Amino acid sequence: MEKTTPRPAFRTRREQLRNGGRGSLIGTAFGVMWFALGQSAVGGSARPAVLVVGLVPLAASIGGVIHLFRAASRTPAGQQGAPVAPGGDGPRFMTVVIIEAIVLGVGNNYVRTGLDRPELMLSWSALVVGAHFFPLARTLRAPMLRVVGGLMIATVPVAALASLVPGATDAVWQAVPGLGCAAVLWAGAAYTAVRAGRTAQDAA
């Protein structure tokens, strides 16, 4: 007797929007952390200017989160969404997160104590956190996470170039990844909301 392939499980559209809202909220919160760490390495009169400029992408990110949760509340409860990502909430996801935490901790400890270069810790963190988005993109069926991860990693070579500018200090190794990764995470949250709006229009 021929076996039939089971149909994939589907989330509702409302559930997808709520999950997007939660993910964007997490990204927004981590963006605030990255920004705070990066801004603390900016000295002099540039610090308040950086703070003011940073409020723009932060506001867009917060607006994206609010939009996703509001869209979820307006979406019919039974409207079908996309297939559930296999392993998205299970062992694969947790394995990636655990490995990320271990590599972050061990690497930053070595950078701080072994190399005695604490200013490089945020650059190392940008490399590790950025890299962890690549397996998550596959597990969660979210290709955009590859873009987020790639851009976070890219902040490190940008910091390296900034360190070559005459008069630059070691603080650029913290400021550039901190501010850059914050901007990437906030932009990702805002884009998620925009994409969700377009998807809803196409489905209408």
The pLDDT value recorded for residue 204 is: 47
CB 180, CB 158: distance < 8 Å: yes
Whether 115 shows a pLDDT value over 80: the answer reads yes
Whether 99 shows a pLDDT value over 50: the answer reads yes
118 vs 82, higher pLDDT: 118
The pLDDT value recorded for residue 134 is: 96
Residue 150 identity = G
Helical (H) or strand (E) element with 36: helix 13-39
Whether 149 shows a pLDDT value over 60: the answer reads yes
The pLDDT value recorded for residue 44 is: 83
The pLDDT value recorded for residue 101 is: 96
Give per-residue pLDDT as tens, 13-39: 888 888 888 989 999 999 999 999 999
- At residue 10 the predicted structure's pLDDT band, cuts being 50, 70 and 90, is low
Residue 73 identity = S
61 vs 192, higher pLDDT: 61
Give per-residue pLDDT as tens, 38-94: 999 998 888 899 999 999 999 999 999 999 999 888 888 777 666 655 555 567 888
DSSP string, 45-92: THHHHHHHHHHHHHHHHHHHHHHHHHHHHHS-TT-EEEEPPTTTTSHH
Query: Tokens 């950078």 map to which residue?
Result: 111
At 12 the three-state DSSP class reads strand
Write down the mean pLDDT value for the chain.
87
Nearest by Cα to 175 from 60, 44, 61: 44
